[in-house]
């Protein structure tokens, strides 16, 4: 059974260490910047043209979401992943993990609380960023919903869930937050590179962004999207299960 008092401790820890404040500031900043960039990019480029005539298509609501998802997956997810990789390794380096595990908190409970707390944290800042981006997109373009809007949000959220599991796995493997962060960044880079291989995206937990861009471009492949959702959920469970198997046999 999940230890709720330890789970509450995880939420308090996220606030005390400023993880929540850092992430909400980062996600909110890019949620505001994305529609503004999409709306005024033509004017910015034209002002830098120095007398050269540049003809660009008029910005659309889709451009705002393209910028949003690009920023979320290229900056915000990386920062979140790096922060999340320290949830176990930092306690190992401080030595506080021994105190926690001797207070009737099982190793499964310990990892599960870390997983739930970080998924909740990611979900909260992600939802806030969606609301902010939707508000400014609607204000600047008169609408904010496109075909495949909701499934796009789910695909990116599932990427966040998978990277939470991956971060915990790397955090379990090492005693150094720095090394676990480097492993997390390496894992993110490898999975992102795999997206360029045709037909691999639907099996890749990082492939959600490929299908999001497809939908924003007017192309929808429901079967491949469902494959990606199933595989992302499956890999998330597998990676977390592997983390627990390693952690259960690990000497602290």
> pLDDT (tens digit, 9 = 90+) per residue, 239-251?
999 999 999 888 7
pLDDT at 187 over 90: yes
Percent of the chain's residues with pLDDT above 90: 62
Distance CA 38, CA 30 (A): 12
pLDDT at residue 204, as a whole number = 94
Q: What is the pLDDT of residues 44-95, one digit of tens each?
A: 776 765 655 666 678 889 999 999 999 999 899 999 999 999 888 888 888 7
* Count of domains observed in the chain: 1
Is residue 228 within 8 Å of 204, Cβ to Cβ? Answer: yes
Write out the two tokens for 180: 């676990």
Work out the average pLDDT over 110-127.
93
Q: Give the SS3 label for residue 200.
A: coil
Q: What is the percentage of the chain residues whose pLDDT exceeds 70?
A: 94
Nearest Cα residue to 157 out of 244, 233, 79 = 233
pLDDT at 55: 63
Task: Return all residues near 89 (Cβ < 8 A) that are at least 6 apart.
Answer: 171, 172, 174, 175, 176, 177, 179, 180
Alpha-carbon distance 99 to 236, whole Å?
28
What's the DSSP call for residue 72? I
- Residue 95: the pLDDT is 75
The secondary structure of residue 175, as a DSSP letter, is S
Buried b (16+ CB within 10 A) or exposed e, 73-108: beebbbebbbbbbbbbbbbbbeeebeebeeeebebe
Average pLDDT, the chain: 89
Q: How far is Cα 45 from Cα 238, in angstroms, rounded to an integer?
A: 46
Largest CA distance in the chain: 71
**Which token pair is 49?**
């043209």
Which among 215, 176, 158 is positioned nearest to 89, based on CA atoms?
A: 176
Q: pTM of the prediction? A: 0.91
Mean pLDDT to the nearest integer, 21-43? 91
Residue range of the domain that includes 141 = 4-249
Model pLDDT, residue 92: 82
Predicted local confidence at residue 1, as pLDDT: 58
């Amino acid at each position: 059974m999940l230890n709720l008092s330890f789970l509450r401790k995880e939420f308090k820890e996220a606030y005390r260490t400023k993880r929540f404040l850092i992430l909400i500031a980062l996600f909110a900043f890019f949620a505001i910047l994305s529609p503004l960039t999409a709306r005024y990019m033509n004017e910015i480029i034209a002002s830098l043209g120095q007398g050269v005539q540049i003809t660009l298509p008029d910005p659309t609501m889709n451009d705002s979401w393209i910028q949003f998802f690009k920023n979320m997956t290229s900056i915000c997810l990386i920062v979140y992943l790096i922060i999340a990789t320290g949830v176990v390794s930092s306690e190992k380096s401080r030595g506080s993990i021994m105190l926690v595990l001797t207070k009737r908190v099982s190793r499964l409970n310990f990892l599960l609380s870390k997983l739930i707390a970080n998924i909740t944290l990611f979900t909260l800042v992600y939802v806030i960023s969606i609301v902010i981006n939707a508000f400014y997109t609607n204000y600047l373009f008169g609408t904010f919903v496109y075909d495949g809007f909701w499934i796009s949000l789910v695909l990116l959220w599932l990427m966040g869930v998978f990277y939470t599991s991956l971060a915990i796995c790397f955090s379990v493997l090492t005693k150094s937050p720095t090394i676990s962060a480097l492993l997390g960044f390496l894992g993110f880079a490898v999975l992102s590179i795999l997206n360029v291989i045709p037909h691999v995206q639907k099996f890749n937990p990082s492939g959600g962004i490929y299908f999001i861009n497809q939908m924003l471009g007017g192309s929808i492949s429901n079967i491949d999207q469902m494959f990606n959702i199933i595989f992302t959920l499956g890999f998330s469970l597998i990676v977390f299960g592997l983390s627990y198997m390693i952690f259960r046999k690990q000497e602290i």
